[in-house]
Structure 1
Amino acid sequence: MEIKVVRKVLDRNDTTANRNRMLFAEKNIFVLNVMSSPGSGKTMTLQKTLKILAPEIRSAVIVGDVCTTHDAERLAEAGIPVVQVNTDEFGGECHLGAHVIEKAIDSIEMDGIELLIVENVGNLVCPAAFDIGEDARVVVLSVTEGEDKPAKYPAMFRVCNAALLNKIDLLPHLDEFDVEKAAGYIQQVHPGMPVFRMSAKTGEGMEPWLDWLRERVREKQAG
């Protein structure tokens, strides 16, 4: 019985996700679902990304957190539309479901938007299971976390299209984190997935990531 209940929840979510996907396709909007554990530097990564891309790509963001508007306020500094979703209003959910995205986009003027980024709730488990109608998923892993996170949370890394290995500026101060091992674990779980080694704080290594994202947006715009 419990399995049937879970299946019903996922089926309902997928139905809404397909509606979202059709809307995004109609408007040629590339939708990126960005996921990570708390403290990975996800928000700073998006801050830097959006600041650089703002002159060339019209963007909007949906931010998911259990409480507060802190991350949304930081991202709004890029001068783009930002919608905050606080999941404590509906039970403190550990992810954003498709129905939440469907409601959030009602607050955004979608005409003319080329890139919609969803900053999901910080969690390496729940968000991986829920389709929101996105075109691609990215996971952010920082060097201050365990290098074996991809092996411990394989579902997250399997469903993503790219991984950002963030905070590499801290490597000189970390004796126990092995970048090659971390990248190796990612490849074991998801062979061939691009891994971008970068520091959102210093900007080191960000250009390959930005080029990857630009290309995905161009492809969606081309129809």
Structure 2
Amino acid sequence: MCGTCGCTPLDTPTRLIDPPAGSPALGSPGLGSPGLKVASAGWQPPQTPEHDSVQFQTSLYAHNRQLAMDLRHRLMAERILLFNLVSSPGAGKTTLLLATLRRLAARTKACVIEGDQQTELDALRIRATGTPALQINTGQACHLDAQRVSEALEQLRPETGSLVFIENVGNLICPAHFDLGEALRVVLLSVTEGDDKALKYPDIFASADLVLITKCDLLPYVDFNLAHARANIQKINPNLEVLTSACGRKSNLSAWLSWLTTQQQAFIREHSPNDHPA
């Protein structure tokens, strides 16, 4: 729980918005029964914690880590590959997802968990592509956690072998410390932000599996040095892979789509049952 930003603890109700009747839905029973409802808490002004915040945070993180570990094992057994997309607000997560899902539709099953403090706007955009999506409104909280993700998956019920994308709340601080059970964490950095972003927010870049630099079609019009951005990222995480993308008029998602395909194939190979028992 953040001592200053007003994040809610795990047992505080948040709003989990059901997809409308007749919307696309996946149907594997692997992750539980459908129909789970969580009541809306509504927005409340942040309150100063009354108890020892350090002790509470330690307990919260430990509980979240255990939930995330359990969820990760369940997803491995179902060969469901979960991505956690994290960025500042406006870096292009939803736009990237829309373009990605349209290109993947013919060859793989996918669904999306959308995280925002309020509204269902992004989930509606995702569903318009024919992809099942579930919106989580976090209210005061500035990140998702493993419990909320697990509850969302119980509603979406993704098929074995499918991809699941989490679009986390736009924030580079708290999401760095909350494992969601994902297999891979992707940080988006747009060229409309500073190329020193990794130095300012090192924790999220240190914990990432991939950095995707977005909106690269705007490079001629903004003060962003791609080489400096790569160098700053490598100062934080020398082995971190960095790719570029564009979803505008000069769309270019080839490197990102190739990376997704490679990760999915490797994941399925690693977690497929042994066809040749000893």
Q: Which residue of 1 aligns with 2:235?
A: 188
Residues 1:219 and 2:270 are matched in the alignment = no
Match of 2:181 in 1: 133
Q: 1:117 aligns with which of 165, 177, 199?
A: 165
Structure 1 CA distance for aligned equivalents of residues 72 and 163 of structure 2: 13
State the partner residue of 2:137: 86
Following the alignment from structure 1 to structure 2, what is the Cα–Cα distance between the partners of residues 218 and 196? 19
Q: Secondary structure at the match of 1:10?
A: helix
**Which residue of structure 2 lines up, in the alignment, with residue 106 of structure 1?**
154
Q: 2:71: which partner in 1?
A: 20
Residue 93 of structure 2 is aligned to residue 42 of structure 1: yes
One-letter amino acid matched to 2:214: N
Give the direction of change, closer, same or farther, for the CA distance of 1:85–1:183 in structure 2 (3 Å limit).
same
For 1:24 and 1:46, how far apart are their aligned partners in 2? Answer: 21
TM-score, length-scaled by structure 1: 0.94
Q: Which amino acid aligns with 1:6?
A: Q
State the 4+ residue runs in structure 1 displaced beyond 3 angstroms: 202-205
- SS of 1:62's equivalent in the other structure is strand
Structure with more contact order per residue of length (Cα contacts < 8 Å, sep ≥ 6): 1
Amino acid at match of 1:4: Q
Identity of aligned residues (%): 37
TM-score (norm 2): 0.76
| Match among 111, 131, 143 for residue 191 of structure 2 | 143
C-alpha distance in structure 1 between counterparts of 2:128 and 2:249, whole Å: 18
Aligned to 1:197: 244
For the structure 1 residues 78 and 113, does the alpha-carbon distance in structure 2 shift closer, same or farther, using more than 3 Å as the test? farther
The equivalent of 1:171 in structure 2 is 219
- Partners of 2:242 and 2:248 in 1: CA distance: 18
What amino acid maps onto 1:207 in structure 2?
S
Q: CA deviation at 1:183?
A: 1.2
Answer with 134-143 or 194-203: which moved more: 194-203
Q: Could you tell me how far apart the structure 2 residues matched to 1:111 and 1:167 are?
A: 32
